[in-house]
Amino acid sequence: MKRRPLVLIVWFLFAATLTPAQQTSPQRRIGVDDLFEYREAHDPQITADGHLIAYTVTSTSLKEDKVESRIWMVAAAGGDPVALTVEGVSSEHPRWSPDGKALAFLSARKDADGNESKTQVYLLRREGGEAVRVTDTVQDVEDFAWSPDGKRLVLLLRDPSAEELEASTAKEKCGEGADKACAGRKAKAQPPWVIDRLYFKEDTVGYLDRRRTHLYVFDVASRSLTQVTSGDYDDVRPSWSPDSKYLAFASNRSKPDPDATFFVNIWVVEADNKDQGAHPRQVTTDRVFVEESDLNTYPVWSPDGKWIAYSTQLDPRILDYGTRHIALSPSAGGPSKVLTHALDRNTSNPRFAPDGQSIYFVVDDDGTQNLAEVRLNDLKITRPIGGRLMLEDFTVSKDGTIAANISTMDRPYEIYTIPGGPLTRITHLNDAWLAQFRLSPGEYVSFKSKDGTIVHGYLYRPVDYVPGKKYPTILRPHGGPQWAYYAEFQESAQLLAANGYAVLLPNPRGSTGYGEDFCRAIFAAWGDKDYQDDMAMVDYAIAQGIADPDKLGVGGHSYGAISTDFIIAQTDRFKAAISDAGGAEYSSLWGHDEYVREYIGELGFPWEHRDTWNHVAWLWHVKDIHTPTLFMGGNIDWNVPIIGGEQMYESLKALGRETLLVVYPDESHEFKTPSHIKDRFERILAWYAHYVKADGTPARPVAKPAESQIPTKSAD
């Protein structure tokens, strides 16, 4: 008997969970405001006995112009969820105590005087009652984890700033409120930044100083705090040994300068270490290393405490283009073992099975993220949760119950379990919301590039698609470039499809999920093979009779914007382009953005490898651009600074081309303000409607609030 493909099995399981309202025809097309009404479930955490799952729910309020995260709880068997934290204040990072009787989480709540406090650990008893703040540090608590015996927490704290220490001293002197002796204190001017680091700037943070993150052990009963690591290094991702005696963590302690490399190794320190100067023990060696920028490389201990698992790259020379593998090292030190050599796919989030005989992990494969499991005895890999879906994170109880948050092409992130095998959705955050709309189902397609390489991507037809009719089509290159489009709910694609466009989401060379050779094919050669692959998907959509070749648009964010810039510099096929947080001349970004180490590793020094830098600098081809282009970005984006958009805009403007620049105040690379996100969506729709559809829509959205204008000198 033939086995059904796993993707079909998963689809049948999803279809079986649809409510009658969802199985009927939805009523209307999705609009911009609708995109702020759905919710997402993240960070699932199951109790040790496998009975309860805590998770966060992210929601957006246009009215209050903010995003909020609350913690909820649901039975692993399903049922009505219960809100554990209050509305009006974000709470995140829920973690059950080992006995399951309490839930600790992070939140920044106002003090008795209504002033914003630092992010602290709060404790909520399972039997009920109000959450109680248990830590009181002068700086934010950035991360924490319970000790297996439930008596202590390890906290991740950054060295306090002078301002934080001064505020703490004033608080001790004046009390919680500002009395007469303290009321007259004046705010001091911001002191200058004094820079002495190679890696000195980071998005959402700004200029970096020498304050580092270190591990502290917090005794829950006595409320005492002990620092256990120190030095001019960032220590991250702490993990307790099963006997609660040791802490494993990731840290770049390269000599002489950690800023000059990405060599983050796994280290172990005694949890009772009171000598901050004591040297932790290095577990991994330079044969394998952990990529610093990957947040899911953290170490995890085997149940018997003899091994530590982590995600690693093997070749530092190819940076993020290299495949990440699951590896295993003896916790006492010694030769390590890579477990997923044969897979050639990015892996992350390792967790030991309760019996210690296998390791679960997330695998990035073929435009999906699945849950995989590797057996330690024979390295056989299976997929407990597979198919065309996007699994973000997962949690495992001691009885082996797995809970995960998963998105599909037709549904935002929800919580699922696999009790006894079948995948079951146990939250229903968006059932009523989804039932209102006609959505584009999306298709995963493959096509040949110019040189014969097989490329894949996601194609969304307009929601009211009629076979045989050609439609205006938008190409959306993705960010990264070491990233991909996945089988998850794509709000931008759904919005464009609702407005009558076919939408193309290609995974060209440079994308993850297709092997190391495929990813590294654009190393130091942006805009070559990935350009050919992007164009191949356009040609595919035209050949299928879906895309109107006379009504094409292109646009993307981050590397998607960089792709947009090099696409319109090489072809005039597109009627309009939108470049959101892009760059086109990188020597001007050298020393200005956060990528100094990546530039050195991939392009070399600009004064030594000028030809390489010029090869990827599509600003030098700006005279060939005739496509009307909208440039956008945040004014404090240090990932891809707005200077890239400014340079392209200024160049096209000087050449007399149709262009516009929109800069959003107080926004980093990923926007946080809902009203700005709404404005961006509306501008995208207006720009494409005006130039691609040519339907008479103004290029700028109508009835907008007064836009900020750059002041000009008045005439005398």
Residue 587 CB contacts under 8 Å (≥ 6 apart), including other chains = 606, 613, 617
115 pLDDT band, cuts 50/70/90, is confident
Report how far apart the first and last C-alpha atoms of the chain are (Å, whole number). Answer: 89
Residue 185: pLDDT above 70?
A: no
Report which of 139, 132, 122, 138 is spatially closest to residue 172, judged by C-alpha positions: 138
The one-letter amino acid at 22: Q
Burial of residue 338, with CB atoms counted within 10 A of its CB: 0-12 exposed, 13-18 middle, 19 or more buried: middle
- The owner of tokens 């070491």 is 482
Ranges 344-353, 454-463, 546-555, 698-707: which has the least confidence = 698-707
Tell me, yes or no, whether 493 lies in a domain: yes
Q: Does residue 347 belong to any structural domain of this protein?
A: no
427 with 82: CB under 8 angstroms? no
Domain for residue 489, yes or no? Answer: yes
CA atoms within a 13 Å half-sphere pointing along the CA-CB vector of 214: 22
543-556 average pLDDT score:
98
CA separation, residue 504 to residues 90, 193, 493, 494, 628 (Å): 35, 44, 8, 11, 20
pLDDT in tens, 434-470: 999 999 999 999 999 999 999 999 999 999 999 999 9
Question: Tens of pLDDT along 370-390?
Answer: 999 999 999 999 999 999 999
User: Please, are residues 322 and 516 in contact by the beta-carbon 8 Å criterion?
Assistant: yes
**Digit-coded pLDDT (tens) for 672-691:** 999 999 999 999 999 999 99
Q: What is the DSSP string of 186-214?
A: PPPPPPPP----SS-EETTTEE--S--EE
Instruction: Confirm whether 607 is domain-assigned.
Output: yes
Phi, psi dihedral angles at 565 (to 5 degrees)? -65, -45
Instruction: Please tell me the predicted confidence (pLDDT) of residue 702.
Output: 76
Computed over its alpha carbons, how large is the radius of gyration of the chain?
A: 26
pLDDT at 112: 67
Asked if 129 and 153 count as a contact pair (C-beta separation under 8 A), the reply is no
Please tell me the distance from the alpha carbon of residue 308 to that of residue 3, in angstroms, as a whole number. Answer: 36
Closest CA to 445 of 555, 538, 576: 538
Residue 294 confidence (pLDDT): 54
Q: Name the strand (E) or helix (H) holding 363.
A: strand 358-365
Residue 523 lies in a domain: yes
DSSP string, 648-703: HHHHHHHTT--EEEEEETT--SS---HHHHHHHHHHHHHHHIIIII-SS--SS-SS
Q: How many residues does the chain have?
A: 716
pLDDT at residue 671 is higher than 60: yes
Residue 259, token pair as written in the block:
């800023």
Inside any domain, residue 147: no
* 361 within domain boundaries: no
Residue type, 671: F
Tell me what percent of the residues of the chain surpass a pLDDT of 70.
Answer: 89
Per-residue pLDDT band for 8 (boundaries 50, 70, 90) equals very low
Q: Look at residue 172 in the predicted model and tell me its pLDDT.
A: 66
Cα–Cα distance, 637 to 645 (Å, whole number): 11
- Taking the C-alpha atoms of residue 469 and residue 612, their distance in angstroms, rounded to an integer, is 44
> According to the model, what pLDDT value does residue 703 have?
61
**Across 637-652, average pLDDT:** 96
pLDDT at 356 over 60: yes
Question: Does residue 280 belong to any structural domain of this protein?
Answer: no
Residue pair 25/39 in contact by the 8 Å Cβ criterion: no
State the residue for tokens 């949760």.
385
Residue 25 pLDDT: 54
* For residue 481, cis peptide bond before it (omega within 30 degrees of 0): yes
Run of H or E including 406: strand 402-408
Structural domain of residue 680, as residue ranges?
Answer: 437-693
The distance of Cα 247 from the centroid of its chain, to the nearest Å, equals 26
pTM of the model: 0.91
Q: Report the C-alpha gap between 246 and 332 in whole angstroms.
A: 11
Domain count, the chain: 1
The pLDDT value recorded for residue 18 is 40
Tokens representing 474 are 């938008």
Query: 188 to each of 164, 166, 185, 192, 211, how far by Cα in Å?
Result: 13, 11, 9, 12, 21
Which tokens go with 495?
């919005």
CATH classification at residue 519: 3.40.50.1820
- For 689-699, give one letter per residue: b (16+ CB within 10 A) or e: bbbbbeeebeb
